[in-house]
């Protein structure tokens, strides 16, 4: 892609999200730009993402929980998420999300996980999704220490404590 095409797509993404609430604008911009770079048009992207114009966030469920496409089938360097998840046997949503973030960071090479990544993981393993993933992120960070804040808004990454949980403590012995 030449620099002019990239610049025009960035401008189109900025224009598409200009009326989005400032708290959601960065995330919306990233989604729109990604879709534009994949060949979409601003009109189809807005329809696909249903980007709200003047909506104010209402608690932790206001951030989009639309799945973000990930290659969770495994390959040369990564086991399939389903096998990895089954092997680790997480019991609680806190453990499940930590296992997903670990997989995303370590096997997929994505430095930060967002709510959309987590939704994709739950879909892949055919598990019921939690209603408030952002609150779950906060709880895991503050109560367990298994996750750290990412650079992006509402994104997380695995912490050393989370690595220890996944690599050494899971699966938990049956009691």
- pLDDT value of residue 63: 46
Q: Is 87 exposed, middle or buried (0-12, 13-18, 19+ CB in 10 A)?
A: exposed
For 156, the enclosing helix (H) or strand (E) is: strand 156-158
Q: Using the 8-state DSSP alphabet, how is residue 57 labeled?
A: P
Q: Do 125 and 46 share a domain, yes or no?
A: no
Q: Do 53 and 90 share a domain, yes or no?
A: no
Q: How far apart are CA 64 and CA 62, in angstroms?
A: 6
C-beta of residue 121 within 8 angstroms of C-beta of residue 70: yes
- pLDDT value of residue 25: 76
- pLDDT value of residue 5: 74
Domain count, the chain: 2
Q: Do 87 and 50 share a domain, yes or no?
A: no
Print burial letters for 156-167: b (CB count within 10 Å at least 16), e (below 16): bbbbeebeebbe
- pLDDT value of residue 13: 78
- pLDDT value of residue 66: 86
- pLDDT value of residue 82: 97
Range of the structural domain that residue 124 is part of: 81-169
Q: How far apart are CA 69 and CA 116, in angstroms?
A: 8
Whole-prediction pTM? 0.65
Q: How far apart are CA 17 and CA 104, in angstroms?
A: 27
Q: Do 110 and 43 share a domain, yes or no?
A: no
- pLDDT value of residue 92: 96
* pLDDT digit string (tens) for the chain, length 175 residues: 677 777 887 888 788 878 777 777 788 778 877 887 777 665 555 444 554 545 544 544 444 588 888 889 988 889 999 999 999 999 999 999 999 999 999 999 999 999 999 999 999 999 999 999 999 999 999 999 999 999 988 999 999 999 999 999 999 887 6
């Amino acid at each position: 892609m030449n620099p002019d095409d990239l610049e025009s797509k960035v401008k189109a993404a900025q224009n598409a999200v200009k009326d989005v609430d400032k708290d959601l604008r960065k995330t919306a911009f990233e989604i729109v730009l990604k879709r534009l770079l994949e060949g979409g048009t601003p009109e189809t992207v807005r329809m696909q993402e249903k980007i709200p114009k003047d909506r104010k966030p209402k608690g932790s469920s206001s951030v989009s929980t639309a799945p973000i496409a990930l290659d969770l089938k495994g390959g040369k360097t990564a086991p399939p998420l389903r096998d990895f998840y089954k092997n680790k046997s997480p019991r609680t949503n806190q453990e499940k999300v930590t296992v997903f973030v670990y997989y995303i960071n370590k096997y997929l090479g994505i430095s930060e996980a967002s709510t959309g990544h987590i939704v994709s993981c739950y879909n892949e393993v055919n598990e019921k999704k939690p209603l408030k993933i952002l609150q779950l992120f906060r709880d895991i960070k503050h109560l367990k220490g298994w996750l750290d804040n990412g650079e992006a808004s509402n994104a997380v990454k695995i912490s050393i404590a989370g690595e220890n949980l996944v690599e050494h403590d899971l699966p938990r012995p049956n009691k």
